[in-house]
Amino acid sequence: MTRNIAPDPQSPPPPADARTSGAASRLPAHIAGRSLVLVGLMGAGKTSIGRRLALRLGLPFRDADAEIEQAAGCSVAELFARFGEPEFRDGERRVIRRLLAGPPVVLATGGGAFMDPETRTAILRDATSIWLRCPLATLVRRTAGRTHRPLLSMGDPERVLANLIAERHPVYAEADIVVQCGDDSPETTTQNVLACLLTHAPTRSVPVDLPQHGYSVLVGSGLMARAGPLLAPVLPQKRVVVVTDQTVAALHLGTVQASLAEAGFEVRQAVVAPGESSKSLHGYGRLTDALLASGVERRTAIVALGGGVVGDLAGFAAATLLRGLPLVQMPTTLLAQVDASVGGKTGINTPHGKNLLGAFHQPRLVLADTRALATLPERELRAGYAELVKTGLIGDAPFFEWCEAHGAALLAGDAERQAYAVQRACAFKAAIVAGDEREQMPENGRALLNLGHTFAHALEAEYGYTGELLHGEAVSLGLVLACRLSAKLDACPRAVADRVEAHLHAAGMPYALGALGRRFSARGLIANMQRDKKMRDGKLAFVLLRGIGQAFTTRDVPQEAVAAVLRDAGCGE
C-alpha cells in the first residue's frame, strides 16, 4: 500500500532577498520557466511593477494593452468607442493567448482581462498570476486625471472604482499570488512581489474520489485568506455559517469572514467553547439552536473552522439539520488536517463512549491552510503528529522512515515539511476512504485507520473527555499498545514495537502509561473498549501490525492478551 505522493522536500526554500541579482535562478520549480501575469485594477501599478520585475528576472516585459494598440493601430479608448467592449475583449483574449504560448515573459494585463472566463482559464493554466491588490483611496489618487481610461469616463471616478472593486476583487482573488499594495514606492512593491515569488509554495490538491460525493482536499499556505473564491464554485448558495471555537475565532475568523464577504457571501458565525466538552448532546443542542435561529436553509453551508472537535460537531450538525446541509471543512490543527477533516465521519460523545452518535457526511471541500499550524501550541502540534505516524504504520513504510528522518524538523515548524506531510497523509486516507466510504469492508478497508484507536478511546473515556489527555496523545499511547499487542500475539517482531516506541519518545510524544501520573486498571480500560462502536457479536476489533506499513484487522484477540499488554504497561488488575 505504499504511495509516493510528492517529492521529498529535503531542504527548505532559499531566503527571499528581493535585491539579489539572479533571482530567476532561485524561483521555485513550479514558477520557473513560466510567464508571470500581473492582474489588478487600473492604478495598481501593473506596468511600472512589471517593468521592474522583468528587469530583476531577466525576462522580456509585455503590456497587453500596448500590444493590442500596436496590432490595431489605435488606442484602447478608440477601440472601445468604435467596436465596444465585447470586440475588444475578443482581441485581448487572442493577444494574451499568443503571448503565453511563447517563451516566458512578464505580462501586465488590463483591468478587465482576468474577468473574461476564457482568458482567466488560460492565465491560470499557462502562467503564474499575481494580483496587485490596492485599496480604493490609492487607486483614486493614482488614476486622477486619466482621460484615456474608458470606464473612468462613465461617472464619478471614485464611485466607478468602488463598483469595480466590488465586482472584480472576488475574481482577482483566484490569482495564484496576492500582493497587498498601498502607497509603497514601485521599488518596494517590486521587492514584495519578488519575495512572494521566491517563497511561494504551490497549493496541492488531493482528490477524494467517491461515487456520489467526490471532493478535493486543498493543502497550502494562505488558503483561509482565499476562502471566498475557493468556495464560491462548490457551494449552492452564497450563504454560510462559520462554526468555530473561541480560541480559533480570535486567530482566524476575521480572515475567513473578510474573504467570504469580499466574494459576495452572506456570512454568519456560531462560536462554541473550545475542547471536548462541546462534543456532547448539550453542545450539539446549543449549536443547532443557534444555527436554526440564524435562519439556515437547506442550501446554506456550514463551514467548520477549527480542530477535530469543531469539525466533528459542526459536521454532525450539518448532517442532521434540515436532513443535511452542505459542509466545508477548514481544519486548523495538524490532527484535523491529516485525519479528522477527511472522509466524512462526524459525531459527538456520550457518557457511554466517544463518537457514539454520528453520521457519515462528506464535505464539499476541505481547505487545509498550513499557515494555521504556526499558531498552534507545541502540545497541539505534537498531538497531531501521532496521526502522521499512524499513516506510515498502516501502509506506507517509506513515509514512516520519512517521519523518523524529518519529524523533528516538522515539529520545530518547518513549513515545507509540514505541507508535504499533510498532503501525503491526506492522499493516503483519501485512497482508503474511496475504497470503503462507510467502513463496510470486514477486513483491511477503512477500519485500518483505527490503528491504536481502540486503546486511545478507552483512555479518553477514562479521563471523561475533559481534554486533560488530548486525542492525539491518546493515539500515540494507543499505537504503542497496539504494537505491543501485535508482538504479544507473534504477529510482528518485538523490534517493530521497540522502533515505534523509540520514535514517538524521540518526538516528545506520550509513549508510556506510567508517565501520565495516573493509575489505570486493565479491567476498567477493557470495559471502556467493550462500549466501543466497533464491537460486533461481543467481540472487539483490533488493528494490528505484521511490520511497519503492514496493518491488518482482526477480531480474534483473546481478552487475556489485551489485559496482559495493559498490565505490562503498568496497569493494575
Give the residue from 166, 199, 232 where a domain finishes: 199
Average pLDDT, the chain: 91
CATH number at residue 94: 3.40.50.300
Number of domains the chain contains? 3
270 touches 287 (CB < 8 A): yes
Average pLDDT over residues 63-85: 86
What is the per-residue pLDDT across 492-536, written as a single tens digit (0 to 9) for each? 999 999 999 999 999 999 999 999 999 999 999 999 999 877 777
Asked, for residue 316, whether it belongs to a domain, the answer is yes
Distance of CA 175 to CAs 121, 132, 229, 552, Å?
11, 10, 10, 44
Q: Which residue has the higher pLDDT, 288 or 80?
A: 288
pLDDT band at residue 77, thresholds of 50, 70 and 90? confident
- Furthest CA-CA distance within the chain: 92
By DSSP bridging, strand 204-208 and strand 542-547 are: unpaired
pLDDT band at residue 146, thresholds of 50, 70 and 90? low
Please tell me the distance from the alpha carbon of residue 50 to that of residue 57, in angstroms, as a whole number: 10
Please tell me the distance from the alpha carbon of residue 465 to that of residue 467, in angstroms, as a whole number: 6
- 175 and 219 inside one domain: no
pLDDT band at residue 352, thresholds of 50, 70 and 90? confident
Q: Which pLDDT score is estimated for 22?
A: 61
Quote the radius of gyration of the chain (alpha carbons, Å).
27
How many CB atoms are located within 10 Å of the residue 384 CB?
Answer: 30
Q: Is the pLDDT of residue 19 over 70?
A: no
Q: Is the pLDDT of residue 1 over 80?
A: no
Question: Residue 217 is part of which domain span?
Answer: 204-376
Q: Is the pLDDT of residue 166 over 50?
A: yes
- 119 and 260 inside one domain: no
Asked, for residue 334, whether it belongs to a domain, the answer is yes
Asked, for residue 428, whether it belongs to a domain, the answer is no
36 touches 127 (CB < 8 A): yes
Give the residue from 376, 395, 412 where a domain finishes: 376
Counting Cβ atoms within 10 Å, is residue 515 exposed (0-12), middle (13-18) or buried (19+)?
exposed
Q: What secondary structure letter does DSSP report for 572?
A: B
Please tell me the distance from the alpha carbon of residue 553 to that of residue 546, in angstroms, as a whole number: 11
Q: Is the pLDDT of residue 343 over 60?
A: yes
pLDDT band at residue 148, thresholds of 50, 70 and 90? low
Q: Which pLDDT score is estimated for 3?
A: 31
Q: Which three cell numbers stand for residue 547?
A: 511490520
- The secondary structure element, H or E, covering residue 260 is helix 254-262
Q: Helix, strand, or coil here: 532?
A: coil
383 touches 470 (CB < 8 A): yes
Q: Helix, strand, or coil here: 117?
A: helix
Asked, for residue 429, whether it belongs to a domain, the answer is no
Please tell me the distance from the alpha carbon of residue 238 to that of residue 263, in angstroms, as a whole number: 9
507 touches 387 (CB < 8 A): no
How many CB atoms are located within 10 Å of the residue 419 CB?
Answer: 25
Q: Which three cell numbers stand for residue 529?
A: 473498549
Q: Is the pLDDT of residue 16 over 60?
A: no
By DSSP bridging, strand 266-272 and strand 327-331 are: unpaired
Amino acid occupying residue 251? L
Q: Is the pLDDT of residue 152 over 90?
A: no
398 touches 360 (CB < 8 A): no
How many CB atoms are located within 10 Å of the residue 171 CB?
Answer: 18
Give the residue from 376, 391, 413 where a domain finishes: 376
- 365 and 457 inside one domain: no
By DSSP bridging, strand 61-63 and strand 345-350 are: unpaired
SS3 content of the chain, % helix, strand, coil (to 5): 50, 15, 30
By DSSP bridging, strand 327-331 and strand 365-369 are: parallel
Average pLDDT over residues 399-411: 98
Closest Cα partner for 473 from 494, 452, 450? 452
By DSSP bridging, strand 353-360 and strand 345-350 are: antiparallel
CATH number at residue 285: 3.40.50.1970
Q: Which pLDDT score is estimated for 150?
A: 58
CA atoms within 13 A on the CB side of 561: 18
Q: Which residue has the cell 506596468?
A: 47
Average pLDDT over residues 290-316: 97
Q: Which pLDDT score is estimated for 20?
A: 41
Amino acid occupying residue 286? R
Asked, for residue 381, whether it belongs to a domain, the answer is no
Please tell me the distance from the alpha carbon of residue 507 to that of residue 509, in angstroms, as a whole number: 6
Asked, for residue 515, whether it belongs to a domain, the answer is yes
- 220 and 192 inside one domain: no
Q: Helix, strand, or coil here: 74?
A: coil
Q: Is 43 left (phi over 0), alpha (psi -120 to 50) or beta?
A: left
Average pLDDT over residues 272-284: 96
CA atoms within 13 A on the CB side of 292: 12
Distance of CA 93 to CAs 88, 100, 111, 120, 559, Å?
9, 11, 13, 9, 70
Q: Is the pLDDT of residue 49 over 60?
A: yes
- 486 and 530 inside one domain: yes
Q: What are phi and psi of 546, to 5 degrees?
A: -95, -20
Average pLDDT over residues 366-374: 97
- 465 and 514 inside one domain: yes
- 129 and 227 inside one domain: no
- 163 and 212 inside one domain: no
Q: Which pLDDT score is estimated for 155?
A: 66
Average pLDDT over residues 559-565: 96
Closest Cα partner for 240 from 248, 537, 230? 230
Distance of CA 47 to CAs 108, 352, 386, 496, Å?
6, 65, 49, 61
Average pLDDT over residues 371-377: 96
- 369 and 461 inside one domain: no
Q: Which three cell numbers stand for residue 439?
A: 467502513
Q: Which pLDDT score is estimated for 8?
A: 41
- 234 and 134 inside one domain: no
- 138 and 247 inside one domain: no
- 244 and 292 inside one domain: yes
Average pLDDT over residues 417-441: 94
Q: Which pLDDT score is estimated for 143?
A: 85
Q: Which three cell numbers stand for residue 133?
A: 491588490
CATH number at residue 445: 1.20.1090.10
Asked, for residue 383, whether it belongs to a domain, the answer is no
- The secondary structure element, H or E, covering residue 193 is helix 186-199
Asked, for residue 185, whether it belongs to a domain, the answer is yes
